């Protein structure tokens, strides 16, 4: 939550900051703001709403500067208005700060500062932090870097911050704990700082990811200096960015979400690239190789995640239990971390996260690590905090996902879970050679089948037009497709603001069936697998109560076609691989309905892509 971007160098900061903020808007869009230094003035421009509002606000203003910081906010402390927007000034207005995270002890710090004569304009924890830093500078008579270091030893919570000072227009000070921060080392002594690499990639590919409790002193024309909050010098480790500029642009699509849905044949292929060799019958995930024995001998696997990643985790439960015979539990990271769970050294935790920054998932990992469990990560963002906190793991390689609603990340997560379960299951002797070979062949064919699925887009759009004004939706699925039903409902809720519920199909008669009438559309997965006949019976029950049925069926199905109002066909595949196909029409349905309702598909209200607060 919240996006940070900063620049110091010989070029104009303003266009770099605005472009960067637009790339980071997916992290929050309640308000945005920038601070620039020129002619010995430190000017703040901030505005409620999206970055476009800030651009309008700065028209005609003095924005010439070669140093600047910018922020796009997802509100935590204080309403999303102009005053609470970042950056914030210090008491003397000599310093300005941008912050992503939460200072948990801000109330007590604020009280002390008020007693010492500080006055605050905003309701934010961030303003307290910059006042504290300046207070330390004066009271302890130390320079700004030391004041930042002392202050960060006093605060409890999460932060990624960048500070600039009117007194030194060539220097930025950045620091992080639990919120991400990356520094771009540009040409001719220029530097960039951002929450992720997307605002940086077009200027430089050389980056330094800050670790927790590290402080960077970033001075134009000088080498980057790193210390930690214990005041130990650290040698910066410069890495090369792998992302390409095209992957973070819309490439002709109306929305990122649509582009990302359409990228799935490629993103799924990329998740398997170098890991699956059908001809040789090999599945090999280099990132977990050293821990495979440990996984095979695990007492149980606990999957922790949030939101869509949690749904992928549920598919993972079916896959692992089915193919490896290792017991699996799937936990909401937010519940797991607070309920004193029983974890021991023979447990393996799989943490799934697209962003690799989700605060609850990160906290769950830390807790399980303390208790001696082995932690495997499945992340999309390379170099993210979760990917660095785990013992081992596999990246999903789906490429940057910008749309707040997760689509290609979900199918990539399911693909990686499938590869893991196949590899472990086969080595453990839990699946036969013939089943293993069949699944490898079928998995290899999935990208082509997704491609085929995407051709149903026109038909899904037609169905969307019919149901776009509905107030409620029910999603049903069984077995492997129960998590897909949950995911379909989540997609619709988050981008179209229509109330939707996902249920295991057989649970319907234990309550939700009471909701069925002619105004209730029901999306049901009825593919030709294990429980097909039972799902058909569930559909009949809905039909008898005048519910409107949109069924996702296997190509050539006639039985469901005869009773459903609308059908969407998927190519035949194995049951355990079907979520990779059945989830596609659900994504398209929610996308089209949201567009038809005039919703902001890529940036739905109240949401942010990366939830770095608890």
Site for ligand AGP in 440-469 (CB under 6 A): none
Residues 375-404, mask of contacts with ligand AGP (x by CB under 6 A) = -----------------------------x
Strands 300-305 and 347-353, by their bridges, are parallel
Nearer residue to ligand AGP within complex by CB, 76 or 355? 355
Residue 392 catalytic?
Answer: no
Residue 345 phi, psi (nearest 5): -65, -20
User: What is the Cα 142 distance to its own chain's centre?
Assistant: 39
* Residue 264 binds ligand AGP (CB under 6 A): no
CA-to-CA distance for 259 and 401, rounded, in angstroms?
10
CB of 230 to ligand AGP, least distance (A): 30
Strands 191-194 and 182-185, by their bridges, are antiparallel
Nearer residue to ligand AGP within complex by CB, 95 or 404? 404
Nearer residue to ligand AGP within complex by CB, 307 or 400? 307
CB of 177 to ligand AGP, least distance (A): 18
CB of 363 to ligand AGP, least distance (A): 12
2, 379, 392, 576: the catalytic one is 2
What six digits make up the tokens of 105? 């002890």
From the list 164, 51, 194, 76, the residue with the least C-alpha distance to 126 is 76
- By CB under 6 A, name the one of 48, 165, 198, 406 that touches ligand AGP: 406
**Contact yes or no for 370/378 (Cβ under 8 A):** no
Whether the link from the prior residue into 87 is cis, omega within 30° of 0, is yes
46, 528, 548, 609: the catalytic one is 609
Size of the site for ligand AGP (CB under 6 A): 15
Nearer residue to ligand AGP within complex by CB, 353 or 394? 353
As a whole number of angstroms, the longest Cα–Cα distance in the chain is 81
Segment lying near ligand AGP (by CB under 6 A), choices 56-64, 283-291, 355-363, 586-594:
355-363
Residue 2 catalytic?
Answer: yes
CB of 196 to ligand AGP, least distance (A): 12
Nearer residue to ligand AGP within complex by CB, 134 or 494? 494
CB of 378 to ligand AGP, least distance (A): 9
Beta strands in 17-156 (DSSP E): 31-38, 41-48, 67-73, 88-89, 95-103
CB of 353 to ligand AGP, least distance (A): 3
User: What is the Cα 258 distance to its own chain's centre?
Assistant: 17
Site for ligand AGP in 594-613 (CB under 6 A): 610-611
- What residues contact 600, with CB distance under 8 A and at least 6 apart? none
Site for ligand AGP in 286-345 (CB under 6 A): 306-309
CB of 357 to ligand AGP, least distance (A): 7
CA-to-CA distance for 465 and 170, rounded, in angstroms?
55
- By CB under 6 A, name the one of 317, 494, 557, 602 that touches ligand AGP: 494
CB of 412 to ligand AGP, least distance (A): 11
Nearer residue to ligand AGP within complex by CB, 101 or 169? 101
- What residues contact 85, with CB distance under 8 A and at least 6 apart? 30, 31, 32, 33, 46, 47, 48, 71, 73
CA-to-CA distance for 101 and 159, rounded, in angstroms?
5
Of all residues in the shown chain, the one whose CB is closest to ligand AGP is 307
* Residue 354 binds ligand AGP (CB under 6 A): yes
Nearer residue to ligand AGP within complex by CB, 405 or 516? 405
* Residue 405 binds ligand AGP (CB under 6 A): yes
- What residues contact 374, with CB distance under 8 A and at least 6 apart? 291, 294, 295, 298, 347, 348, 349, 391, 392
Name residue 70's beta-bridge partners. Answer: 5, 34
Nearer residue to ligand AGP within complex by CB, 214 or 587? 587
Which residue shows structure tokens 């203003």?
Answer: 61
CA-to-CA distance for 159 and 245, rounded, in angstroms?
27
What six digits make up the tokens of 236? 């910066």
* Residue 484 binds ligand AGP (CB under 6 A): no
Binding residues for ligand AGP (CB under 6 A) = 306-309, 353-355, 358, 361, 404-406, 494, 610-611
Catalytic residues: 2, 609
């Amino acid at each position: 939550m919240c996006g940070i971007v900063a620049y110091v160098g010989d070029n104009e900061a303003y266009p770099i900051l605005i472009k960067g903020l637009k790339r980071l808007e997916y992290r929050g869009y309640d308000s945005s703001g920038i601070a620039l230094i020129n002619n010995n003035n430190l000017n703040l421009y901030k505005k409620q709403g999206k970055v476009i509002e800030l651009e309008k606000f700065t028209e005609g203003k003095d924005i010439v500067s070669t140093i600047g910081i910018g922020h796009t906010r997802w509100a935590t402390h204080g309403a999303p208005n102009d005053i609470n927007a970042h950056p914030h000034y210090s008491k003397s207005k000599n310093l300005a700060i941008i912050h992503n995270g939460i200072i948990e002890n801000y109330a007590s710090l604020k009280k002390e500062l008020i007693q010492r004569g500080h006055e605050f304009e905003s309701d934010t924890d961030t303003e307290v932090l910059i006042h504290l830093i300046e207070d330390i500078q004066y009271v302890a008579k130390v320079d700004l870097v030391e004041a930042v270091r002392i202050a960060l030893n006093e605060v409890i919570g999460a932060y990624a911050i960048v500070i600039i000072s009117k007194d030194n227009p060539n220097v930025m000070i950045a620091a992080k704990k639990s919120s991400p921060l990356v520094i771009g080392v540009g040409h001719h002594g220029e530097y960039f700082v951002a929450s992720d690499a997307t605002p940086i990639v077009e200027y430089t590919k050389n980056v330094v990811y800050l670790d927790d409790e590290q402080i960077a002193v970033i001075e134009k024309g000088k080498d980057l200096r790193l210390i930690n909050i214990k005041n130990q010098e650290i040698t910066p480790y410069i890495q090369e960015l792998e992302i390409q500029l095209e992957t973070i642009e819309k490439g002709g699509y109306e929305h990122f979400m649509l582009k990302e849905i359409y990228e799935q044949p490629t993103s799924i292929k990329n998740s398997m690239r170098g890991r699956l060799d059908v001809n040789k019958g090999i599945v090999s995930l280099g990132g977990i190789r050293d821990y495979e024995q440990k996984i095979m001998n695990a007492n149980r696997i606990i999957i922790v995640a949030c939101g869509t990643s949690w749904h992928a985790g549920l598919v993972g439960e079916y896959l692992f239990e089915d193919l490896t015979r290792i017991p699996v539990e799937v936990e909401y990271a937010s519940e797991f971390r607070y309920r004193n769970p029983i974890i021991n050294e023979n447990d393996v935790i799989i943490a799934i996260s697209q962003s690799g920054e989700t605060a609850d998932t990160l906290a769950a990992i830390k807790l399980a690590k303390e208790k001696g469990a082995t932690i495997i990560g499945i992340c999309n963002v390379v170099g993210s905090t979760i990917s660095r906190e785990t013992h081992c793991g596999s990246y999903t390689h789906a490429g940057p996902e910008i749309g707040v609603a997760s689509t290609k990340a979900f199918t990539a997560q399911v693909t990686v879970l499938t590869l893991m379960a196949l590899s472990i299951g086969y080595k453990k002797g839990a699946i036969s050679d013939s089943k293993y070979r069949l699944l490898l062949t079928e998995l290899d064919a999935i990208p082509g089948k997704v491609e085929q699925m995407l051709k149903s887009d026109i038909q899904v759009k037609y169905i969307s037009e019919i149901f776009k004004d509905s107030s409620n939706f029910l999603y049903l699925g069984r077995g492997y497709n129960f998590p897909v039903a949950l995911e379909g409902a989540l997609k619709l809720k988050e981008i179209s603001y229509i109330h939707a519920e996902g249920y295991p199909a057989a649970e319907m008669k234990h309550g939700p069936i009471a909701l069925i009438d002619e105004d209730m559309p029901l999306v049901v997965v009825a593919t030709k697998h294990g429980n097909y006949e039972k799902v058909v019976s569930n559909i009949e029950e809905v039909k008898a109560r005048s519910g409107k049925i949109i069924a996702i069926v296997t190509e050539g199905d006639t039985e469901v076609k005869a009773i459903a109002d609308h059908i969407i066909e998927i190519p035949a595949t194995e049951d355990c691989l079907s979520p990779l196909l059945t989830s596609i029409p659900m994504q398209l349905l929610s996308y089209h309905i949201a567009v038809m309702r005039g919703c902001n598909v890529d940036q739905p209200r109240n949401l942010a892509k990366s939830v770095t607060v608890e």
